[in-house]
Amino acid sequence: METRFYQAQELDIQRIAFELANLFLAQGYQAQHFGDKGHMVVQLRKGGDFAAIVGMQAALTLSLHGTPGGVMAVIGQQQWADKAAVGAVGMLILWPLAFTAGAGVIRQANLVNQVLATLDSVVRQQQANVHIGPPPPQLVQQMQMQMQQQPAYPPQPMQQPAYPPPGQWATPTIYPPQTPPPAAYPAQRTPPPPPPPGHHAPAAPAPSKIPCPQCQALNDADNLFCARCGKPMQKKEEETLCPRCEAKVPPDAAFCTKCGEALAPPAQAEIAAAPTTDATVAVNMTPATQLVQPEPVVQVWGTLQFADGDPVELAGTRITIGRVKPESNDAKPDINLYSSRAEAATVSRSHAVIELQGDQCILTDLTSTNHTFINKQQLEPDKPTPFTDGDSLQFGKIACIFKKA
Tell me the mean pLDDT per 10 residues along the chain, length 405. Answer: 86 91 89 90 74 56 88 81 47 47 58 88 89 84 67 42 41 46 52 63 65 86 84 69 82 81 57 50 55 68 87 92 91 89 88 94 95 95 95 94 91
Q: Which residue in 334, 335, 341, 336 sits closest to 308, CA to CA?
A: 341
pLDDT of residue 400: 93
What sign does the dihedral 43-46-47-48 (CA atoms) show?
negative
pLDDT of residue 47: 63
Please give the model's pTM, rounded to 2 decimal places: 0.35
Q: Which residues pair with 248 in a beta bridge?
A: 241
User: 377 Cβ partners below 8 Å, 6+ apart?
Assistant: none
CA torsion 127→132→138→142, rounded to 10°?
Answer: 70
Could you give the CA distance from residue 228 to residue 129 in angstroms, rounded to a whole number? 8
pLDDT of residue 289: 52
pLDDT of residue 187: 52
Could you give the CA distance from residue 53 to residue 108 in angstroms, rounded to a whole number? 8
Q: How many CA atoms lie within 13 A of 167 on its CB side?
A: 1
